[in-house]
């Protein structure tokens, strides 16, 4: 499975992506709103879990690569997540620090949103994040979402939920 955009290719993760993904997921600044920063074992498990998702669901988080060079700069894709007590399709994204604020997360998330509505039965897609994670919220809005919920998570932190419906996507 490969999704192409103007500047990017999203493709299934492989173990060859370990070093590039480690650079993203082990970065304490990038992961400050995540429950933990990744170590080597967690990155390995992350890749394995997504490979399993591809096999079972046909989707997962995909490696985000520059179209011209193939360089991996992060991940973006569709996963099933527990959001305020319900399993929902969620678009997630992590982009390497030196490539942030250049529109890559937005570009990748738009591609995943379009792929989702064209290739799955889902009528809504979501992105959720800590209420403090303003860059992630801005990306959700940039790919077409609006805030639809807010709740206290297990750590008693406020989580914001953004979503776009298939009808909103069709009528955009």
pLDDT at 35 (0 to 100): 83
Report the mean per-residue pLDDT for the chain: 96
Q: Span 132-155, mean pLDDT?
A: 94
Position with higher pLDDT, 87 vs 32: 87
Would the pLDDT of 156 be above 80?
Answer: no
pLDDT at 153 (0 to 100): 85
Token pair 């480690």 is found at 22
Residue 156's region, left for phi above 0, alpha for psi from -120 to 50, else beta, is left
> Distance between terminal CA atoms of the chain?
26
Q: What domains are defined for the chain?
A: 2-170 (3.40.630.30)
């Amino acid at each position: 499975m490969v999704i192409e955009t103007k500047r990017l290719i999203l493709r299934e993760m492989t173990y060859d992506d370990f070093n590039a993904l480690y650079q993203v997921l082990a970065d304490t600044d990038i992961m400050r709103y995540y429950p933990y920063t990744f170590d080597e074992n967690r990155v390995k498990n992350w890749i394995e879990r997504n490979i399993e998702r591809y096999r079972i669901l046909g989707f997962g988080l995909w490696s985000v690569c520059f179209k011209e060079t193939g360089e991996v700069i992060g991940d973006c894709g569709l996963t099933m997540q527990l959001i305020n007590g319900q399993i929902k399709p969620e678009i997630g994204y992590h982009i390497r620090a030196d490539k942030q604020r250049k529109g890559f997360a937005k570009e990748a998330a738009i591609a995943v949103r379009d792929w989702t509505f064209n290739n799955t039965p889902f009528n809504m897609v979501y992105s959720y994040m800590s209420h403090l994670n303003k860059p992630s919220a801005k990306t959700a809005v940039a790919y077409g979402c609006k805030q639809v919920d807010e709740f206290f998570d297990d750590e008693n932190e406020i989580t914001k939920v953004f979503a776009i419906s298939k009808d909103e996507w069709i009528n955009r």
